[in-house]
Amino acid sequence: MTTPLKFDETRYQSAQVTIDGQVLRYRAFLGLDYVTMPVDAIQQLNVFVPEPYFTGGRVNGYTRVTAPIFMPNTVGGYLPGPRDFPGNQESFSRGATILQALVRGYVVVSAGLRGRTSKTAQGEYSGKAPAFIVDMKAAIRYVKFNAGWLPGNPDRIITNGTSAGGATAALAGASGNADFFETPLQALGAAPATDDIFAVSAYCPIHNLEHADAAYEWQFNDLAEWHQQRYTVVNNQAHRTSLSGELTATEQQLSNELKSAFIPYLNHLELKDHAGNPLQLQADGAGSFRRFIADYLTASAQRALAAGTDVTIFQGVKVNNGRVASLDWSAYLRGITRMKRVPAFDALDLSSPETSLFGSRLIAARHFTAFAQKHSAVPAQWADASLVAAINPLTYLTTHQSQIAQHWRIRHGAVDRDTAFAIPVILATKLQNLGLDVDFALPWGRPHSGDYDLPELFDWIDNLCR
Ligand code: DHB
């Protein structure tokens, strides 16, 4: 009898591409089940392995048993994130990332994950929270269960993703082996293995959702105008339209309340800067935590300036004698503008991706904060607080209930307004305060996006693994 979920090394397709004049040969193992009782066709994964590993060869100093296992996901907007492959023409695809990872000698595992719009044949929702992370963990368990059969080092798993996918990557890193997910993993027939991982690469992770509304208003309370880009696909062509408007008086009032709510939350976290000094906020919203973020932005501007970028095209940035002399917080924010209305995530009319994420088998969308439930514009239910906490990486950093990845690389663009800067800064700082290895930056001029610095990301991985 064959062992369920065992990786079969004999069923593959050979592929070859030329990148920068170099021929890259690899084997593709496509459409593998990673659970024995899937509920959605998306629950399969692809494995890509550099060809030399099957003939005793080396790539970038790695061998079949030492190569890191890179697990990028394609989740965006908390929608279903299908398994990916090089040459994939779909807009969500990170096929180029997979190829660059193979050039570096990594084994790449791309798993398809359910999302908030996934449905069963009977029309019930099957991908509401926590499905995305349950599937990610099941894929990780598949990889670890197949230690020795599947090429690569299962003690060197690195997740990677952008935005909601960055949140997925980060949550996998924070919540290793957490009890909360055991029952749903068993129900899918996940492989008998652990799901803690080595490292996380997260770009602009849209996470900490229950505090993201308050953080957003702490940052943008002064700005009544909002500016959005809407993307629509018509006849396979992407169209971009600009939308803007002004907060209503009611929204402005809600913004004031949310801003005030952020201050005790932040202070309660008891974050420390690199020298161990407390990071706090005063009642007016100013304070050492805000200066700490401004310092990250200033350092980012300084690096861009040194690389020859004109950083003064951004409002509030002053340069003097080749140094970034100052960054005016309010002016800088005015320049990058507010993107979202109020509340930014737990929308009062249940129209946001996040309220949809917190739907249930039979309910399209639910609130996930007491604040939005109280102010709801429509008849609405409220997701279980335990579920909301379970998909927040911060939960695992503030209460001991998981095995946390040792190494973290987090990037959030300096002009990204999809969530407040405070959100990634809290994550990075809490990890640092726990003594973990964190590489964090707010890359200058970068909007909401990811995988824009793959050479640096892969150098970071090589420094840890080679
Ligand atoms: C994403 C972006 C958002 O602004 C958001 O609220 C949720 C998800 C995304 O790009 O994945």
Rounded to a whole number, what is the largest CA-CA distance in the chain? Answer: 73
- Four-residue CA torsion sign, 110, 116, 122, 123: negative
Q: Are 98 and 48 in contact (CB under 8 A)?
A: yes
Mean pLDDT for 421-428 is 99
Cα(262) to centroid(ligand 1), Å = 21
Q: Is the pLDDT of residue 1 over 80?
A: no
User: Is ligand 1 within 6 A of the CB of residue 353?
Assistant: yes
Task: Report helix, strand or coil for 354.
Answer: helix
Residue with the nearest Cα to atom 5 of ligand 1? 77
**H/E segment holding residue 5:** none
Q: Give the model's confidence band at 234: pLDDT under 50 very low, under 70 low, under 90 confident, else very high.
A: confident
Examine residue 130 and say whether the peptide bond preceding it is cis (omega within 30 degrees of 0): yes
Query: How large is the C-alpha radius of gyration of the chain?
Result: 22
Stretch (H or E) spanning 418: none
Q: What is the pLDDT of residues 55-99, one digit of tens each?
A: 999 999 999 999 999 999 999 999 999 999 999 999 999 999 999
pLDDT per residue over 306-354, tens digit each? 999 999 999 999 999 999 999 999 999 999 999 999 999 999 999 999 9
Average pLDDT on 38-45 reads 98
Q: Which helix (H) or strand (E) holds 144?
A: helix 131-145
Ligand 1 near 80 CB (within 6 A): no
State the pLDDT at residue 140: 99
Residue 230 predicted with pLDDT over 90: no
Best mutation site among 163, 204, 340, 346 for ligand 1 pocket (most ligand atoms within 8 Å of CB): 163
Distance CA(369)–CA(345), nearest Å, equals 10
Mean pLDDT of the chain: 97
Q: Give per-residue pLDDT as tens, 164-211.
A: 999 999 999 999 999 999 999 999 999 999 999 999 999 999 999 999
| Per-residue pLDDT at 282 | 98
Q: Residue 232: which pLDDT band, with cuts at 50, 70 and 90?
A: confident
Would you say the CB of residue 77 lies under 6 angstroms from ligand 1? yes
Considering only CA atoms, which residue is closest to atom 4 of ligand 1?
A: 418
The ipTM assigned to this model is: 0.99
pLDDT in tens, 120-155: 999 999 999 999 999 999 999 999 999 999 999 999
Please give the average per-residue pLDDT across 389-414, as a whole number: 98
Closest to 42 (Cα-Cα) out of 53, 31, 51: 31
pLDDT value of residue 231: 80
Minimum CA distance residue for ligand 1 atom 1 = 77
Q: What is the pLDDT of residue 86?
A: 96
pLDDT in tens, 257-309: 999 999 999 999 999 999 999 999 999 999 999 999 999 999 999 999 999 99
Instruction: State the Cα torsion 443-445-451-453 to the nearest 10°.
Output: -60
pLDDT for res 361: 97
Cα-flanking dihedrals φ and ψ of residue 246, to 5°?
-125, 145
Q: What distance in angstroms lies between residue 151's CA and the mean position of ligand 1's atoms?
A: 33
Q: For 192-206, 230-244, 348-362, 365-379, which range has the lowest pLDDT when averaged over its residues?
A: 230-244
Going from the Cα of 407 to the center of ligand 1, the distance in angstroms, rounded, reads 24
* DSSP run (H or E) holding 325: strand 323-327
Angle value at C-alpha 14, between 10 and 18, nearest 5 degrees: 155
Q: Evaluate: CB of 161 within 6 angstroms of ligand 1.
A: no
Calpha distance 73→139 (Å, rounded): 11
Enumerate residues 6+ apart whose C-beta is below 8 A from 433. 271, 272
What pLDDT, on the 0 to 100 scale, is given for residue 3? Answer: 87
Please, are residues 444 and 300 in contact by the beta-carbon 8 Å criterion? yes
Report pLDDT for 236: 61
Q: Label residue 52 exposed, middle or buried (CB < 10 Å: 0-12, 13-18, 19+).
A: middle
CB of 105 closer than 6 angstroms to any ligand 1 atom: no
The amino acid at residue 183 is T
Give the number of the atom of ligand 1 that is nearest the alpha carbon of residue 418: 4
Q: Which of 78, 132, 209 for mutating ligand 1's site (highest number of atoms within 8 Å of CB)?
A: 78
**What is the arithmetic mean of pLDDT over 36-62?**
98
Share of the chain above pLDDT 70, in %: 99
